[in-house]
Amino acid sequence: MRIRVINPNTTRSMTDTIEECARGVVGPGTLLDAVTSEMGPASIESHYDEALSVPGLLAAIRRGEAEGVDGYVLACFGDPGLDAAREAAGGPVIGIAEAAMHTASHLGRGFSVVTTLGRTVGRAADLVEGYGMQRFCRGIHACEIPVLALDSDPDARKIITEACREAVAADGADAIVLGCAGMAELCAYLGAEVGVPVVDGVAAATLTVQSLITLGLRKSGRGEFATPPPKPYTGPLRSFGS
């Protein structure tokens, strides 16, 4: 089977980290690759960034469909454009936020999310509600590190570790959900330091896609998630029409 991880921001170094984490969990029969969006923001940490990341994501899905990819991981914690990606793909498309939250819900009674900037907390809260996860989500905490600084800030690891510890103490959480694909490589370290299970959505979504494909399950093509009706698109979005 062929699984493609799509980083919907345009930062290649982040895609490399994401790919390594996804490769670390797939089975031997799975061909996995990771692609970086070819247009859009360098990082996604506002509603504006999210909206403008979606055309690049959909272009990546279209390329994947032409190349025979069986399923996709949408590797940004806002799960931007997830419904549209599902319409465009034949196989499963799983967002890292939905995968991480569902995985964490199996591990204890409640989880806390630790994310990047405070301004992304509202989006994460909307996703918790949209995925029916209010029963499990005890709190959403920001460490105030911008996405691209996760890699370059020498204090990032320490600050995120502290944010996880504080979230567990403040919320009584049984697990932590990491709120950014750029935190994936810290997952094992944080699990050992914080003392509760720490869930990285990149790994969780990759294994969810692999499971669905193994089960022979594809996206439902009926109703809402059927291929969108063909129509012309104009301006810079011309190539998205048919």
Shortest Å, Cβ 124 to ligand 2AL: 7
Residues that bind ligand 2AL in the complex, under the rule CB under 6 A: 9, 43-45, 76-78, 115-116, 120, 147, 179-182
Cβ-Cβ contacts under 8 Å for 176 (sequence gap 6 or more): 104, 111, 112, 113, 114, 164, 167, 168, 190, 194, 196, 197, 198, 199
Quick one: 8 or 91, whose CB is closer to ligand 2AL?
A: 8
Shortest Å, Cβ 221 to ligand 2AL: 28
Quick one: 36 or 120, whose CB is closer to ligand 2AL?
A: 120
DSSP result, 165-214: HHHHHHHT-SEEEE--GGGGGGHHHHHHHHSS-EE-HHHHHHHHHHHHHH
Cβ-Cβ contacts under 8 Å for 47 (sequence gap 6 or more): 123
- C-alpha distances in Å from residue 221, one per residue of 2, 36, 200, 231: 20, 27, 29, 19
Quick one: 15 or 105, whose CB is closer to ligand 2AL?
A: 15
Quick one: 1 or 121, whose CB is closer to ligand 2AL?
A: 121
Shortest Å, Cβ 234 to ligand 2AL: 28
Shortest Å, Cβ 143 to ligand 2AL: 10
β-bridge mates for residue 35, sequence order: 6
Shortest Å, Cβ 177 to ligand 2AL: 11
Shortest Å, Cβ 230 to ligand 2AL: 31
Quick one: 40 or 92, whose CB is closer to ligand 2AL?
A: 40
Quick one: 9 or 112, whose CB is closer to ligand 2AL?
A: 9
Closest to 208 in 3D by CA, of 200, 119, 187, 196: 200
Shortest Å, Cβ 115 to ligand 2AL: 5
Quick one: 41 or 213, whose CB is closer to ligand 2AL?
A: 41
Closest to 123 in 3D by CA, of 147, 101, 135, 140: 140
The CB-based long-range contact list for 155-164 (8 Å cut-off, 24+ gap) reads 157/186, 157/189, 160/114, 160/186, 160/190, 161/189, 161/190, 161/193, 161/194, 163/114, 164/112, 164/114, 164/190, 164/193, 164/194, 164/198
